[in-house]
Amino acid sequence: MSFLSATGMTGGYGGSDILHDCTITVEKGEIAVVVGPNGAGKSTAMKAVFGMLNLREGSVVLDGKDITNLAPQERVPEGMGFVPQNRNVFVSMTVEENLDMGAFIRKDDKIEETKQQIFDLFPILGEKRNQPAGELSGGQRQQVAVGRALMTQPKLLMLDEPTAGVSPIVMDELFDKIVEVARTGVAILMVEQNARQALEIADHGFVLVQGRNRFTDTGEALLANEEVRRSFLGG
């Protein structure tokens, strides 16, 4: 069984189902990317993994523990870190306070150590540690958001379109950082609009169409797949 296995997820926000028997799995230290056309239910699938959606069927198992019935905030102590697409930093608080809030649930005394690791990973955050997060650029905000989620020392980090609205250069930089995070042994699940670039760094890719798994393979194989390229990657 995979480190995270969300299997057979079926459900929606009430009313009709958005996800139909959707399965997503991630291994430790691997990057899994969910791609697909607009409205395919990519973000919904991730929200379902995080418990923000009522599942009619299916289960979510993290590290051997069934967490299907836990509320989102109860999944954070279980080792899930979630970076929402929008409004993912506390704009009125400084960069350092944002990181402190990420560590809110931690009771150990290694918090400063983790903070230092995050400053090493994202040097710009160290430079701007006393600046309100709301004054930072889009790319820097994303780094704060990822840093905040990493402060909980998650075993699984979930990123909802981390590169939305940032320039291509910043996007490449962010992807590099995400690879670095994965190398430390964190499982990463990511939803991406920039499918081609995302699949390039992905160990596994999940192509969703209308809430169903259409293709599931390694990132490389999906990029090489003629049909996937034609339909979803623009040739």
Partner 1 sequence: MEILNALALFTNFVVVPATAYGAQLALGALGVTLIFGILRFANFAHGELMSFGTMITILVTWFLQNMGVSIDPFPTALLALPIGVLAAISMALVMDRMVFRFYRKQRSNPIVFAIVSVGVMFLIAGIIRIVIGPADQSFADGERFIIGAIDSRRALGLDEGIAIKQSQLITVVVTAIVVAWLFWFLQKTRSGKAMRAYSDDEDLALLSGINPERVVMICWIIAAALAAIAGTLYGLDKTYKPFIFLQILLPIFAATILGGIGQPVGAILGAFIVAFSEVTVTYAFKKFLTYLGPTDWAPDGLVQLLSTDYKFAVSFIILVAVLLIRPTGIIRGKVI
Of 54, 56, 104, 167, the one binding partner 1 by CB under 8 A: 104
Shortest distance in whole angstroms from residue 176 CB to partner 1: 25
Q: In the sheet where 65-66 sits, what is the strand order?
A: 19-26, 4-12, 54-62, 65-66
Q: Identify the sign of the CA torsion 139, 71, 17, 207.
A: positive
Asked if residue 110 binds partner 1 (CB under 8 A), the reply is no
Q: In the sheet where 31-35 sits, what is the strand order?
A: 80-83, 156-160, 187-191, 31-35, 204-209, 212-218
Beta strands 212-218 and 204-209 are antiparallel
Shortest distance in whole angstroms from residue 142 CB to partner 1: 14
Stretch near partner 1 under the rule CB under 8 A, chosen from 9-17, 101-109, 171-179, 225-233: 101-109
Asked if residue 102 binds partner 1 (CB under 8 A), the reply is yes
Asked if residue 89 binds partner 1 (CB under 8 A), the reply is yes
Asked if residue 164 binds partner 1 (CB under 8 A), the reply is no
The answer to whether residues 144 and 127 touch, using CB atoms and an 8 Å cutoff, is no
Shortest distance in whole angstroms from residue 99 CB to partner 1: 10
Helix/strand/coil for 9: strand
Q: Considering the complex, state which of residue 72 and residue 168 has its C-beta at the smaller distance from partner 1.
A: 72
CA 50 to CA 62: how far, in whole Å? 11
Of 21, 27, 78, 97, the one binding partner 1 by CB under 8 A: 97
The binding site for partner 1 (CB under 8 A) comprises 72-73, 76-77, 82, 84, 87-93, 97, 100-102, 104-105, 148, 152
